[in-house]
Structure 1
Amino acid sequence: MSETSLNMNYEPEVIVDTDTLSREDWLSYRKIGIGGSDVAAIMGISPFATIRDLYNDKLGIEPLIEEESNWVAKEVGHRLEDLVAEIFAKKTGLTVFPVRKMFRHPLYPFMLADVDFFIIFPDGSYGILECKTCNYNARTKWEDGGIPDHYVLQVRHYLSVMNMEKAYIACLYGNNENEFIVRPIERDMMEEEEIIAQEEYFWKKYVEKQAEPPYNGKPDLILASIRKYGGYADKDLPEIEIPMHHSVDLEKYLILSEEKSQLEKRKKEIEAMQRELSVPFVEQLGASCKAVLSDGVRRYRITYNPTRRTQIGKDAMEKLKVQHPDIFEEYTKTTESRTFRVKKEAA
C-alpha cells in the first residue's frame, strides 16, 4: 500500500452514542474492532499488554486489563479529563468540545475511535485533543518535546479514523496549570499506512480466523502473559523435548548466567567492604537516624533510617491455618512463581 493509495475522501461512521452506554456495553462495543489504545500492543511496544492479551480480549477469552488492576490511576485519569481539556483551552485559546460517540473508519471497519475531545481551529477545521495524566516522576517521559510512543500510535489511529490532519496531546502531571504538557501531532500518511497494515493483518489473520498470534513486545509482559494463560505448574507432566536448533539460545543463556554470576560475586565483595566501612559510623549513631560530618571543604550527610514490617511468621501462619481455617482462607491468596534454569550435561 503506497502513500497515494489511501482514499482520503471519507467521513467516519458513528457506531453508537457512548453517553448512555453502561461500562459493560461499552466494553462489548470495543470488542468489535481495534481502538486507539490497542494499537501499541499490535505493534509490540505497549507497556501494558502483549498482542496475545489483545487477541484474547477481542475474542472474549480474557479481559485485557482486570478491573481491579491499577484502578485508582485509571479513575483519576478519567475524572480529570474535563480538567485537562479546560486547562488546554485556557492555555491555547482554542475551542474544545466533547462528542460522546464511538466512530468507525468506513474503509477499514475494524478501526474504531472513542475520542476524548475535539478542537475547532481558527480556520474552521477540526482536530483531536487526547487528555492524559501521569504522576510527577513520569513527566521525564515527555522531556525534550517527546511523547510516549504508545500515545503517538493511539492518536495517529484516531486521526486516520476521523480523517483529520492535526491533534494535540495534553498531559497534567501536577496540581497546578504550570505542571502541564502540550504536544502537537501532525498527520503522517506513511506512518498511518503502516499502522493500518499492521491492524488489518492482526484483525484478518488472527481475530477473524481465531488463530493465536505469536508473542511480541517486552519480555516481562510476555512472560506474565504466558503464566496467566498457562495455569499452575504440574510436576507430574512428562518431560518436553525442545527442538535442537534452540541450543544456540541456551548457550547464550548460559554465557549470560556466568557473566551475571561474576558480577553478583563482585557486588557481594563491594557490599561487604561497604559494611565494614560503615561499622564505626553505625556504632556512633546508636539509636539516632542521621549524622553529619564536615571537614571544612566537604559536608557528608549520613542517614540510618529504619524499615519496619509487620507480618505473620511461618509458624504462626500454620497455626492460623489449623485453628482458624475460615480466616486463613479469606485473607490469604495463593500465588505461583517459577524459576527458569539451564544446566548443561553431556549427551
Structure 2
Amino acid sequence: MKANSYPAAPTAVVVAPSGLEREQWLAVRRQGIGGSDIAPILGMSKYTSPIELYLDKVGELGDVPRSPELVEAAFWGHQHEPTIAKVFAERTGLGVVEGPGMLAHIDRRWMLANVDRYVIEPGERTPSSLLEIKTRSAFQLDEWLLGVPDGPALQTRWYLAVTGFTHAYVAALLGGNRLLIHRVERDEGLVGHLVEIVGRFWQKVLDRIPPPADGSEATRELLAHLYDVAPGSVTVADPATVLPLLDQRASIKAREQQVADELRLVENQLKTAAGESEVVKAAGVTAFTWKQNGTFAAKKFADAHPDLAAQYTHRVDALDTKRLAAEHPNLFRKFRARRLVVPAKKETSC
C-alpha cells in the first residue's frame, strides 16, 4: 500500500511530504510543535531546555555544538527503524506502513507530528493507530519493563492528540537484542492538558517572549556556547536584577561550603571507624566500605620511583591547544565554553 493512498489521520493533514531535504524539514518543523518538543517544554528533558527550544523555533539558536553521543544514537536509531517495524509486525500480526510525511492538526496547524509508522488492523485498508519506534541502551531496560518512560510517552500522546487515533504502540529495542512493545491509550483529559500547556508556549514563540533560564544542565551547556562574544565587551546591567542574584549566589555558595564541611566531618569519622579494614559491617550487613581503589597518585609514584615510572610511561596523541590558540585564535574561541567568575567582595574597614 502506498503511503499516500489513505487519509493522513482522523484529525490531521499532511503539511510536508516525506523525503524532504533536512533543511526544508527543519524549516517546516519550526512552524509548530512536534512530539520531541513536548518533554523540553515541560522541563522533563535532560538534553534540551525550554529556552533552547524557543530559540530554535524563532530561528535564533545559531550553530550550537551537538553532542557526538546523541548524534551517534540518532544515527543508529534511524538505521534500526525498518528492522524494528518489521519485527513488530511479525510479532503482533498487525500491518505497518510508512506515513505520508509531516502531519498537522486539522484545526491547530501548530500541532505537528512526524510519526514513525502507521498501524493497520488485519483485514482493514486504512490505519487505525500509529507506531513509535525507539532504540535505547540496555541500561534502560528496567525502566522500559515498567512501561513507556515519560519522554517517549509524552511524544506518543502528543501524536495521538494531533492524529485523533484512539491508541498507539511503542516498540523499543533495548541493548540491540530485546524488543519491548507497549500499547498507549488515548487520554482525553491528558490531551486537553497538553494542548493547553504547549499552546501557551507556542503563543510565547509567536509573541517573541522567551522563557526564563532554568537550572537544568541543558541550559548550562547552551549558555556556555550560545553567544558570539567580543573580547573585553562590557554590558551595563540593571542593579535591581543583577545584585539580588549575586547575593543569592553568595548565600548558596556559603551553604554549599557548609554542607561540604559537614559531609567531610561525617566521612572522616566513618573512615576512623574503619581503621585498617576495607569493609565495615553493622547489624550483620555491610554498612560501608573504604577500599584502596581510588584515583592512582601518578605524580607521587613518579617522584618516588622515577626509573619504574619511565618503564610504564607512553606517549598519547593530544590536541595542541596552545598552538591552535596562537595560530587560529578566533576558531579557538568559538569552541571554548564561557565561565562564570564572580569577584570576591572586598571587606570595607569601619
Q: Give the Cα separation in 2 of the matches to 1:252 and 1:258.
A: 10
Deviation per CA, 1:51-72, whole angstroms, max 9, x where unpaired? 1111111111116975564321
Q: Is the 8 A contact 2:64 2:222 kept in 1?
A: no
TM-score by length of 2: 0.72
Say whether the 8 Å CA contact 1:54–1:64 is kept in structure 2: no
1:196–1:344 distance in 2 versus 1, CA, 3 Å = farther
SS of the residue 2:148 aligns to: coil
Judge which range, 224-233 or 156-165, deviates more: 224-233
Once residues 170 and 346 of structure 2 are traced to their aligned partners in structure 1, the CA distance between those partners, rounded to angstroms, is: 52
CA contact (8 A) 1:250 1:342 kept: no
Secondary structure of the residue that 1:208 maps to in structure 2? helix
Which digits, 9 at most, give the CA deviation of each residue in 1:190-248, with x for residues without a partner?
A: 111111111211112x21112212234x5222222333335558596668635576656
How many angstroms does 1:258 deviate by? 0.8
Cα distance in structure 2, aligned partners of 1:234 and 1:275: 53
Q: Tell me how far apart the structure 2 counterparts of residues 109 and 340 of structure 1 sit (CA, whole Å).
A: 46
Asked if the contact 1:128–1:168 (Cα under 8 Å) also holds between the matched residues in 2, the reply is yes
TM (normalized to structure 1)? Answer: 0.73
Per the alignment, residue 169 of structure 2 pairs with 168
- What is residue 144 of structure 2 aligned with on the other side? 142
- Tell me which amino acid in the other structure corresponds to 2:210: E
Shift of 1:88: 1.3
Name the residue aligned to 2:198.
Answer: 199
8 Å contact from structure 1 (residues 117, 128) kept in 2 = yes
- Quick one: distance in 1 between partners of 2:276 and 2:324? 42
Give SS of 1:215's match: coil
Equivalent residue, structure 2, for 1:337: 339
| Match of residue 133, structure 1, among 135, 149, 153 | 135
Counterparts of residues 5-44 of structure 1 (less than 5 Å): 11-19=11-19, 21-44=20-43
Aligned position for 1:55: 54
Structure 1 residue 27 displacement after superposition: 1.1
| Contact 2:225 2:337 (8 Å CA) reproduced | no
Identity, % of aligned pairs? 24
How large is the Cα RMSD of the aligned pairs? 4.1
**Partner of 1:171: helix, strand, or coil?**
strand
Extract unaligned runs of 5+ from structure 2. 1-8, 279-290, 299-312
Residue 216 (structure 2) aligned to one of 216, 219, 223: 219
Query: Is residue 72 of structure 1 aligned with residue 72 of structure 2?
Result: yes
CA gap 1:11/1:238 in 2 versus in 1, 3 angstroms: closer
Aligned to 2:262: 262
Specify the alignment match of 1:95 in structure 2: 95
Q: 1:100 to 1:136 in 2, by over 3 A?
A: same
Post-superposition offset of 1:38: 0.7
Give the gaps of 5 or more residues in structure 1: 1-8, 279-300
Any idea what SS the aligned residue of 2:226 has?
A: helix
Residue 284 of structure 1 aligns with which residue?
Answer: none
Task: Tell me by how many angstroms 1:256 deviates.
Answer: 3.7
**AA partner of residue 22 (structure 1):** E
CA distance in 2, matches of 1:327, 1:214: 35
Q: How many residues align?
A: 307
